Structure 1
Amino acid sequence: MRHVTRPTLGILGGMGPLATADFYRRLVQRTPAGSDQAHLPVLIWADPAVPDRTAALLGEGPSPVPALVEGARWLQRAGVSCIAVPCNTAHAYVEQLSRATGVEVLDMIRAALETAARRRPGLERVGVLATRGTRLTGLYERAGARLGLDVVQVSGPVQEEYVDAAIRAVKAGAAPAAPESWIATATESLRERGAQTVVAACTEIPLISSAASRVLPLVDSTDALAEAAVSRLWRPAAAPGPALAVRTGGRTG
């Protein structure tokens, strides 16, 4: 594999595959490049066999750490400047990835909350739509506390009936009408709890969030991560070079 010499983004993806593809599309859209050659070089490790992150955090499945470290080390050897992980729940493990590779991992959680605060001056209470695994880790609550934001979640029944069901539907490739309605219902429950804006804090949710965005202003965590990557790496005077190298993970389990 050819190593690139320009500042290069590594994407540790496959969690799920559609969310990874959506993140790369958004990255390209948000790069203010005037030509193909001015876009960021990107290396993608997309291994859908990474064990389920929520199941692991709930003690119901194997740890994803070995698979995540394998992918991160592949990106490290390829010479990436930093790594984006387009999966909120996987951020429970980013410190382990950084220690294992010495490569900076962009903070999707902080990026999403900073975007919310920037878009709404005086913001105090942020609603979060996330997996049970992300909720369990308290990732958004801790990041919100550092930024002076109160983070609120949906109730347990709403999580199970609407949010979890919607995420499963997207991962299964279901038609979007029903899961989009479920996410809008969950967003309404957050508004009733005093949320002034909502973060789509699972990378499947932005794919079904158009109705929810009419209930509350919505921050897309995928967008926030893409903007953070562009801010970190893109420079107007970047020299032409290879625009993209893609490889999918070859693990079988």
Structure 2
Amino acid sequence: MKKTLGIIGGMGPEASEVFYLKLTQATKAEKDQDHLNILLWSHADIPDRTASIEAGKTEELWAIMAKDVQMLKDCGCDYLAVPCNTSHVFQDRFNTMMGGHFISMIDEAAACAKTVGTTIGVLGTDGTRMNDLYGKALRRNGCTCVYPDKEDQEGVMHIIYDQIKKGQRGDLSLFLNICSHMKAKGCDAVILACTELSVLKNNYAELSDPWYLDAMDALVKTCVTTCGGIYQGNL
């Protein structure tokens, strides 16, 4: 029996589009009815997650997201996914509201990471990094978490906010330079821990190497299998 997947998207909208496309492509199907039943709420008005965290306005942000969760529950959604890594600062609250049926992108990505190595780099927003969301999950999986230095973190934020969120393809050379520094730190892989970086990866074939572990791909796999589809992806 298939379950209905609710998605709080719009953070950003292009990332939500890529997530829906990945869900469709990762589901083995011979007809429409083989795909998942999905309700995607692209709530673009949600305040920026990193800015809210930095300003100490997490409770105001949560009040908005909690209404979205309740709306999706009222519409009959059985499971919830939120393709925004920084929003996972609320993952325990999401899970409580969903009665244990929240699919965590961070937990799924960390579980994938431990299959490829023990030293894992994390490239994401300042908000994700400030709360050490991936560090906690990776350590639970026996891995070491490595973050970029200050200059490279500024480069990551530049790609996310000044390029991808503005509809640009993203500076591949800058990203590869950041990743070369992560390799020099001994990383066995890097997690693309922001869905704007998932968009970047989707834009460039050069990033198809499994060394670039897309957290969105990990979320896609679990959403498909949990909600009754047949997964045909590469993880």
TM-score (norm 2): 0.89
Amino acid at match of 1:201: A
CA shift for structure 1 position 103: 5.7
Q: Report the Cα distance in structure 1 between the residues aligned to 2:217 and 2:209, rounded to whole angstroms.
A: 19
Aligned ranges for residues 164-203 of structure 1 at < 5 Å? 164-168=157-161, 169-174=163-168, 176=169, 178-203=170-195
Cα deviations across residues 194-227 of structure 1 (Å, max 9, x unaligned)?
Answer: 1011111100102223477378711111111110
Distance in 2 of aligned mates of 1:103 and 1:71: 17
- Do residues 131 (structure 1) and 125 (structure 2) align? yes
Distance 2:55 2:25 in 1: 38
Distance 1:228 1:101, change over 3 A: closer
Secondary structure at 1:104 match in 2: coil
User: Which residue identity does 1:171 align to in structure 2?
Assistant: K
State the alpha-carbon separation in 1 of the partners of residues 122 and 205 from structure 2: 16
Query: Partner of 2:156 in structure 1?
Result: 163
Query: What is the CA–CA distance in structure 2 between the aligned matches of 1:103 and 1:113, rounded to whole Å?
Result: 19
Contact 1:129 / 1:198 at 8 angstroms: preserved in 2?
yes
8 A contact 1:183–1:208 mirrored in 2: no
Q: Quick check: 1:76–1:103 contact (8 Å CA) kept in 2? A: no
Structure 2 matches for 1:1-253, cutoff 5 A? 6-59=2-55, 63-102=60-99, 104-118=101-115, 120=116, 123-160=117-154, 162-168=155-161, 169-174=163-168, 176=169, 178-209=170-201, 210=204, 213=207, 217-235=211-229
SS at match of 2:122: strand
Q: Deviations over 1:72-116 (max 9, x none)?
A: 111100111110100000000122233345362101011112222
| Counterpart contact for 1:106–1:228, Cα < 8 Å | yes
Distance 1:41 1:215, change over 3 A: closer
1:235 positional shift: 4.6
Are 1:19 and 1:86, in contact at CA under 8 Å, matched by a contact in 2? yes
Q: Structure 1: any 5+ residue segments left out of the alignment? A: 237-253
Q: Secondary structure at the match of 2:11?
A: coil
Q: Is the 8 A contact 1:166 1:180 kept in 2?
A: no
Q: CA 1:158–1:212 in 2, change beyond 3 Å: closer, same or farther?
A: farther
Q: Which residue of 1 aligns with 2:233?
A: none
Give the AA of the match of 1:90.
S
With over 3 angstroms needed to count, the CA separation of the structure-2 counterparts of 1:216 and 1:223, relative to structure 1, is: closer
- Structure 1 103/48 Cα, relative in aligned 2: closer, same or farther at 3 Å? farther
How many Å apart are 1:59 and its aligned residue?
1.8
Return the alpha-carbon distance in structure 1 between the equivalents of residues 159 and 57 of structure 2: 21
The answer to whether the 8 Å contact 2:120/2:191 transfers is yes
Higher mean displacement: 23-32 or 95-104 = 95-104
Q: CA RMSD in A?
A: 2.0
3-state SS, counterpart of residue 187 of structure 1: helix
Q: Provide closer, same or farther for how the CA distance between residues 211 and 132 of structure 1 changes in structure 2, counting only shifts above 3 A.
A: farther
Write out the 4+ residue segments of structure 1 that deviate beyond 4 Å after TM superposition: none
Corresponding residue SS for 1:64: helix
| Corresponding residue pairs, total | 226
